[in-house]
Amino acid sequence: MSTATVDQLMLPGQAAAPPGPVDLTAMYVMHHGFRRDLAAFKTAVIRTPVEDRGTWRALATRWGRFCEILHKHHTGEDAGLWPLLMAKADADSRATLEAMEDEHAEIDPLLTSCTAGFERLAAYADVDARDALEVRVVALGELLARHLAHEERDAMVLVQRYLVDADWHRLETEQFKPAYGPRDLPFIASWALYGLPAEHFGRVRDSMAGRPMELVWRLFWRRPFERRERAAFRYA
């Protein structure tokens, strides 16, 4: 069982990448996707005309996918990662882990209120609903940004302190990967790769399944995903 320090991925917007034996590429790719999406949703909410029902319906659908991914990510952490660390941690470390769970609970109500806003605008040209949604999406972006930064700076230190790479692979196998079935793969793979800096593409691809997955993505998954992104975020 190797405990050698591995090079960590550092993506735009990321607050930290603590050194250690666990390769946290998958974690940081998810965080990159959350930051990217919320920035795009914020701009789309501000710029999309309230009367453009088709775009608001596309945005509402895409928002649902964002919420689904974020929910599965947080559920995997709450059910698997934080309890595993809690069993190994000292008192100071446990306080950080408790804060992670508390921050997840703070995020959920804003997700719900934003969902209601997108659904309202998918059905009606409601200027007041758009203004309220803008406030909520901005607030969610700020709250999630603080949470992700806190997790990257402090909670990932605990991952590197208390776990080794084999522990992380077991967590992925037991908690994170089962949340996605075969029918989810085209979207989640495209979502993870979308907007990545070119210099990090190869590493992320290899962490996801390597060149065979890349070939399938390029031939079958990439263009439909990007077409739907253009439809939802046409004003962003």
Domain boundary assignment for the chain = 25-232
Residue pointed to by tokens 């608001």? 56
Q: Distance between CA atoms of 136 and 144, rounded to whole angstroms? A: 12
Q: Is the pLDDT of residue 154 over 90?
A: yes
Whole-number pLDDT of residue 196: 97
Which band of pLDDT confidence, cut at 50, 70 and 90, is reported for residue 3?
low
Instruction: Provide DSSP, 141-157.
Output: HHHHHHHHHHIIIIIHH
Which band of pLDDT confidence, cut at 50, 70 and 90, is reported for residue 4?
confident
Q: Distance between CA atoms of 90 and 35, rounded to whole angstroms? A: 31
Mean pLDDT, all residues of the chain: 96
Whole-number pLDDT of residue 141: 97
Q: Distance between CA atoms of 187 and 205, rounded to whole angstroms? A: 15
According to DSSP, residue 236 is labeled -
User: Which of 41, 95, 48 has its CA nearest to residue 70?
Assistant: 41
**Stretch 95-119: mean pLDDT, rounded?**
97
Provide the token pair at 133.
């949604």
**Stretch 187-205: mean pLDDT, rounded?**
97
Whole-number pLDDT of residue 1: 47
Per-residue pLDDT reduced to its tens digit, 200-220: 999 999 999 899 999 999 999
